[in-house]
Chains A and B, each alone.
Chain A
Amino acid sequence: MRRALTILAAALAQGLAITFGLFLIFGAIPGDVVDVWASAGDLDAAQQAALRAELGLDQPSWRRFLAWVGAALAGDLGTSQRFGQPVGPMLWDAAQASLQLGALSGGMGMLLAFGLCLAQAAGSRTARLAVEAINLWSIALPTFCVGVAALLMFSVWLGWLPAIGGLLAPVIILGIDNAGQLAKPLSEEVAEVAALPHVMAARARGLSPLWLARWHILPLAAPVAVSLSGVMLAGLLGGTLTMELLFGLPGLGALVLNGIQGRDQPVVLAGLVVAALAIVLVNALTSLALAALDPRQRWRE
């Protein structure tokens, strides 16, 4: 319990530090939302100054940060400066799209990686080759390039998939990429575990390969799988961005990028903070899961 609290407290501190860092970085980008309107051509200098005062953009950054954090902690993420819409619903819509893509591709990646490693532990040569193949694929082919190729082939040439807003292509591309990152270290761990004396003894007793994999190999390889999944999930949050942009999915990445382009500070901050907190949360959950799975972690305390 104490360990869980420590992990969560550290996560919270990280979250706050990241938020402040993001605020400073956003402040360093030249221009603000009034420049966005001015660039559309309709504001003279006096009108711009009045709008800045109205939006509080003429205040020092620490004051704006405190005001924003105060409101955010009270559950008010503010109003989009550019669109005049509340940030909460915009963020929720975007987070749903990102979660959908992340969950589907992450789930597919894990299923594929675990399935192949189980099959490999059960002695399948094809599975071992497949692990090598998807590992090479994920290292050698950036998802962005595969995405462009998929767009040209399946959307433009064959006309099977939509070019914007389609989920199938990005889920498969990210899923294979995740599986490739996960499967190789996992399969090595599986091979190591398979060579342990008690597993060899079990095999010598004539236990079926599936039984061996499920009851003797997987439990020992699971902690590695969990920590790898943590890294993968954190990476997935970043990885969805390119897919969102390429396939026109209205996710968190697209929301934040558009927010940056439009200097929409409340949207950018809320989006980045949610993403950062999600990564911190995934890391914390991974640590907790590891502690639960591997008794040695608890003994170390």
Chain B
Amino acid sequence: MIPRRILPFLAAPPAMAQAGPRRGILRYATLGLDTADPHRHTGSIAVQQAYVEALTSIGPDGGVEPFLAERFSLSGDGLIATFHLRPGVMFHDGSVMDAAAVRANIERVRDRIRGGWLAGAMRLITAIETPDAGTVTLRLSQPYAPLLTSLSELWIVSPRSPGWDGTITRPAGTGPFLFGQWQPNLRLQAPANPHYWRPGQPQLEAVHFDLRGDVDKGIALRAGDLHVADVAQDVATQLRADPRFVVQGLRDTTWYFLAFNNRRPRPPFDNPLVRRALGHVLDKPGFMRFVAGEAGVVTNQMVAPGNLYFDQALHEADPYRAPDLDQARALLREAGVDPGRTAIEMVSWQEPYAQAAVQMVRRLGFRVTHTPLDDIGAQRRLGQYDWDICCMASGPRADVFLRWVRLMSDGPNPVLWGGIQDPELDGMIRAAAAEPALEPRRAKYAQAWARVAEKHYFLVLGHAANQIAWRREVRGFTTGFTWSPHRADGGIAATSLG
């Protein structure tokens, strides 16, 4: 049944796409939803794409694809971006998605949203021109390579959505599903948008997002209570062997690393020799097997093999690809450090893999005090910079720059990587982000990475993809580059229940 309060949306008159037979309710559970305001999307990266769309979309390989903009172009100097909007697209409230609406959304994010990297990026836009109802031109104060990928997360909402002037409470987007009834931490009911612009979609009657973080999704999938869910690596292995399920990783990976306190390094880790010693004691293949079994990938970079920015030569030159205890001990002797008398404070989330890292560090004889904390406790503790090492992980991002930005002096949120303070590195990252052409940009990122490696700010352990499992009766579903459930190349709009 469709909740009464979304009926006004259904009353929207235009019949853009012919309605096919829509059947079934897809029950979907990955991450949560923290806000109904798509522009304040901190932490809500896996749900709202159902009801709001953006000018661009991230393809399966991480490239940019047209979405609400049916085509776009970037000037050679990277300072002018032009978007030609898809004609005839309506918001859920019946108003037209046109250049004025897009402009209003970009302005809202740029001028009225305080937090977030996206708002910061939008401040590079000095002028938004709308020569006609179907064209939007952005002029930038400086070239910004991640612009097109960033815009894939600037969701276009009807400016008539309730709460537009403050916090949007009922977003009217253009997505294949409507924002129905939302109960925080519990569920979002998203009925089909009968006027969706893409003919024949969506094929489902509704999607029910299960937002509970504390249910056993493996059991719920097996019991048939969920159709699609993210599962831990060990559950993924079990489900792969079960013919009732399909399991696929996200296309972008989560990277695991051991970071040093770079903001306020304390002895012995203020000594590069000791950082190197730790590099030699880490059993990266063992660690990644522990994390993800055979699906774990050992490397020394922030992206995995196959990614545009992966550097094969650097990967092969990794001095820490296999553990070498003798070398580690020799380095400690050279540094004059007696591990038996050295206490180390280590912080992590409450994840088993952190224990594996602790055991590896202890093999050198260090006295390790390990404090595993929940997400928020760790966030607070890491920000105090009163620790020595941390073992953490970081998930998929729409653009590689969003990984790099954490290594910059101001972050945002640089705590997981020990709060690096390195103006020279900041400059290198900025230069790479400002480089419009791919090859020179790759070279600049590679230079920045060489500096990170030389300074031993952190040690990359490897990569593993987050695993999504779905029941066999779910047809047409595929995973994306990020957690997004709806993209130009597929997702829940193209999904049906057999």
* Size of the chain A interface, CB-CB below 8 angstroms: 45
What's the least CB distance linking A55 to chain B, in Å? Answer: 13
Q: When the two chains form their complex, are residues B223 and A159 in contact, meaning their CB atoms are under 8 A apart?
A: yes
Q: When the two chains form their complex, are residues B35 and A250 in contact, meaning their CB atoms are under 8 A apart?
A: no
What's the least CB distance linking B146 to chain A, in Å? Answer: 14
Please name the residue on chain A nearest to B378 by beta carbon: A39
Q: When the two chains form their complex, are residues A42 and B410 in contact, meaning their CB atoms are under 8 A apart?
A: no
The one of B117, B219, B379, B412 in contact with A163, judged by C-beta atoms closer than 8 angstroms, is B219
With known contacts A156-B223, A162-B223, A163-B225, A84–B210 Cβ distance under 8 A = no
Q: Is B108 an interface residue (CB 8 A)?
A: no
Q: When the two chains form their complex, are residues B373 and A30 in contact, meaning their CB atoms are under 8 A apart?
A: yes
Bound Cα distance from A37 to B220, whole angstroms: 28
With known contacts A162-B225, A248-B212, A255-B185, A42–B380 Cβ distance under 8 A = no
Q: Is B132 an interface residue (CB 8 A)?
A: no
Bound Cα distance from A37 to B117, whole angstroms: 13
Q: Is A301 an interface residue (CB 8 A)?
A: no
Please name the residue on chain A nearest to B116 by beta carbon: A42
Bound Cα distance from A152 to B376, whole angstroms: 32
- The contact string, 1 if C-beta is below 8 Å from chain A, for chain B 256-294, is 000000000000000000000000000000000000000
With known contacts A31-B376, A31-B377, A80–B184 Cβ distance under 8 A = yes
Q: Is A279 an interface residue (CB 8 A)?
A: no
Q: Is A45 an interface residue (CB 8 A)?
A: yes
Q: When the two chains form their complex, are residues B214 and A257 in contact, meaning their CB atoms are under 8 A apart?
A: yes
Q: Which of B116, B186, B377 has the most CB of A within 10 A?
A: B186
Q: Is A245 an interface residue (CB 8 A)?
A: yes
- The contact string, 1 if C-beta is below 8 Å from chain A, for chain B 396-414, is 0000001000100011110
Q: When the two chains form their complex, are residues A152 and B224 in contact, meaning their CB atoms are under 8 A apart?
A: no
Please name the residue on chain A nearest to B408 by beta carbon: A44
Q: When the two chains form their complex, are residues B186 and A85 in contact, meaning their CB atoms are under 8 A apart?
A: no
Q: Which of B214, B376, B380, B383 has the most CB of A within 10 A?
A: B376
Bound Cα distance from A156 to B215, whole angstroms: 14
Q: When the two chains form their complex, are residues B117 and A42 in contact, meaning their CB atoms are under 8 A apart?
A: yes
With known contacts A159-B223, A250-B186, A45–B410 Cβ distance under 8 A = yes
Q: Is B307 an interface residue (CB 8 A)?
A: no
The one of A50, A80, A162, A163 in contact with B114, judged by C-beta atoms closer than 8 angstroms, is A50
Q: Is A29 an interface residue (CB 8 A)?
A: yes
B36 / chain A contacts, CB cutoff of 8 Å: 84
B114 / chain A contacts, CB cutoff of 8 Å: 47, 50-51
Q: When the two chains form their complex, are residues A36 and B410 in contact, meaning their CB atoms are under 8 A apart?
A: no
The one of A47, A85, A248 in contact with B412, judged by C-beta atoms closer than 8 angstroms, is A47
The one of B223, B380, B410 in contact with A35, judged by C-beta atoms closer than 8 angstroms, is B380
A257 / chain B contacts, CB cutoff of 8 Å: 214
Inter-chain contact count A-B, CB under 8 Å? 141
A43 / chain B contacts, CB cutoff of 8 Å: 42, 115-116, 412-413
Within 8 A of B (CB), among A233-277: 245, 248, 250, 254-255, 257-258, 261-263
Within 8 A of A (CB), among B197-236: 210, 212-216, 219-220, 222-226
Q: When the two chains form their complex, are residues B222 and A156 in contact, meaning their CB atoms are under 8 A apart?
A: yes
Bound Cα distance from A164 to B223, whole angstroms: 9
Q: Is A155 an interface residue (CB 8 A)?
A: yes
Q: Is A40 an interface residue (CB 8 A)?
A: yes
Q: When the two chains form their complex, are residues A30 and B413 in contact, meaning their CB atoms are under 8 A apart?
A: no
Q: When the two chains form their complex, are residues A37 and B216 in contact, meaning their CB atoms are under 8 A apart?
A: no
- The contact string, 1 if C-beta is below 8 Å from chain A, for chain B 157-185, is 00000000001000000000000000111
Q: Which of B223, B377, B379, B411 has the most CB of A within 10 A?
A: B223
Q: When the two chains form their complex, are residues A40 and B223 in contact, meaning their CB atoms are under 8 A apart?
A: no
Q: Is A216 an interface residue (CB 8 A)?
A: no
With known contacts A43-B412, A83-B184, A30–B215 Cβ distance under 8 A = no
Q: When the two chains form their complex, are residues A39 and B413 in contact, meaning their CB atoms are under 8 A apart?
A: yes
The one of A40, A51, A163 in contact with B216, judged by C-beta atoms closer than 8 angstroms, is A163
Within 8 A of A (CB), among B334-390: 373-381, 383
Within 8 A of A (CB), among B124-174: 167
B212 / chain A contacts, CB cutoff of 8 Å: 164, 248, 250, 254, 258
Q: When the two chains form their complex, are residues B219 and A245 in contact, meaning their CB atoms are under 8 A apart?
A: no
Q: Is B34 an interface residue (CB 8 A)?
A: yes
Bound Cα distance from A248 to B43, whole angstroms: 22
Q: Is A294 an interface residue (CB 8 A)?
A: no
Q: When the two chains form their complex, are residues B377 and A152 in contact, meaning their CB atoms are under 8 A apart?
A: no
B34 / chain A contacts, CB cutoff of 8 Å: 37, 40, 82-83
Bound Cα distance from A37 to B223, whole angstroms: 33
Q: When the two chains form their complex, are residues B35 and A30 in contact, meaning their CB atoms are under 8 A apart?
A: no
Q: When the two chains form their complex, are residues B379 and A39 in contact, meaning their CB atoms are under 8 A apart?
A: yes
Please name the residue on chain A nearest to B219 by beta carbon: A163
**7 sampled A-B residue pairs with Cβ under 8 A:** A38-B383, A40-B34, A41-B402, A41-B406, A41-B412, A50-B114, A156-B223
Q: Which residues of chain A have a CB within 8 Å of any CB of chain B?
A: 29-32, 35-45, 47, 50-51, 80, 82-85, 90, 93, 151-152, 155-156, 159, 161-165, 245, 248, 250, 254-255, 257-258, 261-263
Closest 6 CB pairs of A and B: A40-B43, A163-B223, A31-B376, A83-B184, A31-B380, A155-B223
Given A51-B114, A90-B183, A155-B219, 4 additional A-B pairs, CB 8 A: A43-B116, A93-B183, A165-B225, A258-B213
